[in-house]
Amino acid sequence: MLGTERRDPRAPGDRRMYLYFNYSESGSLRWYVKVSRKGRRIGICEEYGTTAFDAAYEAGVAALGGVLRMRRVKRIATPDQPERRYLYVDVSQRGQVRYYVQLLNKLPKIRIKAEYGTSEFDDEVDAAVAGQIALYGNEGDYINAQKQRNEERPALSNTPARPGTLRWYWNGYKQSDHWLGDLSVGHEGLAESTRLQRTGLIESILPENGEKPFAVLTRKVIKAEMKARTPSQAGNLLSALRGMVRWMIDEKHLDEDDDPTIGLKSGKAKASRETGGFLPWTEDDMAQYRAKWPLGTEARLMFDILHYTFLRLGDAHRFGPPHLRQIVRRMAVQIATEKSRGNTTVTVPVHPEFAESLRAARAANIIGAEVFTGKLVRGRVLPMNKKAWAGKFKKYAVLAGVNEPKKSCHGVRKARAEVAAYADCTESQMMAMFGWTDPKMPAHYIAQANRERLGISGMEKIVTFDQSQSGDGRLDANGTRTTRKNGVVTFPGNIRKKAQ
């Protein structure tokens, strides 16, 4: 048998792990089970392909402490993702096609075991989506669950825009100093996040109106576009259009009297006042989060950065060891704020509990050299953009059970501003700690705290007065003894009115 080619004696579909074979010197085929590379082997004397062989194989794996598994096969192409929201498909390392429901990345996956395309499959997906939303979602997710993942959107033309059209002015605005910034002519330009937001808003109206003259964008058309959006999005769209119109007026493309945005108002400010904007975290929320994520975890470090430094998202996502400095023999957080374009610097001493959190994070080796938290690439913690950082923190919060729609990074900052106001911090102190340049912000929190204090102290006075009147009777202003009935005090002024 030596020198001759020997084919694999396995059956084509046999992918059992730990099952091996070789040939003796005489050329006879021998089967055996081996779990570890240097461990012992157990031979199988039964005939291959019989039930006795299969039983001997399983007994050998069990005797060696192994777990029955199949060999990996070449990875097959993943099927196209289903169009339904929150439903995904992948292929395992052993070639098994798997469908599952997942509300957000890094949240738990719900495996769908029914056959794809059947009514049982759809029912199981419906139940899984509803269960995920109940645990980790909000009202808006129910609406999104009814939509398709890849809804068709009208494509923008890639041909050169004709002069005078809305798309032509839009392209010019994006190349202008108003958009990019040039301090030599007094324009700071727009932040990257603002550019991204305004691009999405204005380009949403270009498929229908982009190839028409700018004059088509009348006050009536803009108002109709605003009505089709939420108050917040309507306000953002109006701001974006006004930015482009200001550039057109400066460049003499448009007369001030022809500004189509004059007189238009959005309900963004009113809606924000009514809803309160982002919701501040409660003490129960924070306790719930800490219970889920202990010291030494990335999730806890992200929370502690927000909680103990009071930084905005734009500063928290880039906060790292270079921003810790020793000032007057004390370690302090010192960072030039993004919102002020570096013109305002926040200096806050390191909170003792934040120092403990940093020590635990360093012991767990989860701190980066440039930023404290970010994305892990080949063992290094690298910076990530603020949108991704906020998304990661939101997922950690959802997993901890803090899953209300408007409770995000900024809600932690708002909660700490309330604490500062209750702690009798002055306006100047709060402006220094939170990086505000307008005294209206600390005044808002201080007024809110004072209003609640006055309400509490006022009720305490009423309770004290009521307790002082708890006797069976008392003398009125005329010396007449009056009594309380059903716990109600009748004041002398009321008695005199009744007597008249």
Question: Which tokens go with 84?
Answer: 């339904």
Report d(CA 352, CA 308) in Å as an integer: 9
Longest dimension (CA), the chain: 130
Residue 333 and residue 228 share a domain:
no
HSE-CB for 82 with a 13 A CA cutoff: 20
**Cβ–Cβ < 8 Å for 290, 306:** no
Q: Is position 454 within any domain? A: no
Same domain, 174 and 133: no
What are the tens digits of pLDDT across the range 103-129?
Answer: 877 778 899 998 888 989 988 988 888
Q: What is the CATH number of the domain that holds 366?
A: 1.10.443.10
Same-domain pairing of 240 and 188 = yes
Paired residues of 111 in beta bridges: 100
Instruction: Answer whether residue 158 is part of any domain.
Output: no
pLDDT by residue (tens digit) across 240-253?
999 999 999 999 99
**Residues 36 and 141 placed together within one structural domain of the fold:** no
Q: Are residues 355 and 287 part of one domain?
A: yes
SS3 letters across 298-312: HHHHHHHHHHHHCCC
**Is residue 161 situated within a structural domain?**
no
Q: Identify whether 1 is part of a domain.
A: yes
The verdict on 192 and 117 lying in the same domain is no
Q: Which two tokens stand for residue 363?
A: 């012991």
DSSP β-bridge partners for residue 148: 84
How many Å apart are CA 188 and CA 182, to the nearest integer?
6
- Global pTM reads 0.64
CA distance 12 to 251: 75
Q: Do 65 and 28 have their domain in common?
A: yes
Q: Note whether residue 78 is domain-resident.
A: no
Task: Domain count for the chain, please give it.
Answer: 5
Alpha-carbon distances, residue 357 vs 63, 171, 287, 294 (angstroms): 47, 48, 15, 9
- CATH at residue 259: 1.10.150
Q: Which residues pair with 474 in a beta bridge?
A: 482
Are 33 and 116 contained in the same domain? no
Q: Where a domain ends, among 274, 297, 320?
A: 274
71, 97, 128 - which closes a domain: 71
Q: Is 453 part of any domain?
A: no
Q: What range defines the domain where residue 478 resides?
A: 469-500
132, 179: one domain: no
- 152 assigned to some structural domain: no
Q: What is the pLDDT along the chain (500 residues), one digit of tens a residue?
A: 444 456 778 887 788 888 999 888 888 899 999 998 888 899 999 999 899 999 999 999 999 888 888 776 665 666 778 888 888 888 876 677 889 998 877 778 899 998 888 989 988 988 888 888 877 776 566 666 766 665 555 666 678 889 999 999 999 999 999 998 887 878 888 888 788 889 988 988 888 888 889 998 899 989 988 888 888 888 899 999 999 999 999 999 999 988 999 988 877 767 666 666 788 999 999 999 999 999 999 999 999 999 999 999 999 999 999 999 888 788 999 999 988 877 889 989 999 999 999 999 999 999 988 999 998 888 889 999 888 899 899 989 988 988 887 788 999 999 999 999 999 999 999 999 999 988 999 999 999 999 998 999 999 999 998 888 875 555 555 555 555 545 455 555 544 444 44
Q: Are residues 325 and 351 in the same domain?
A: yes
- 414 and 373 within one domain: yes
d(CA 405, CA 403): 6
Residue 267 lies in a domain: yes
Q: Are residues 298 and 393 in the same domain?
A: yes
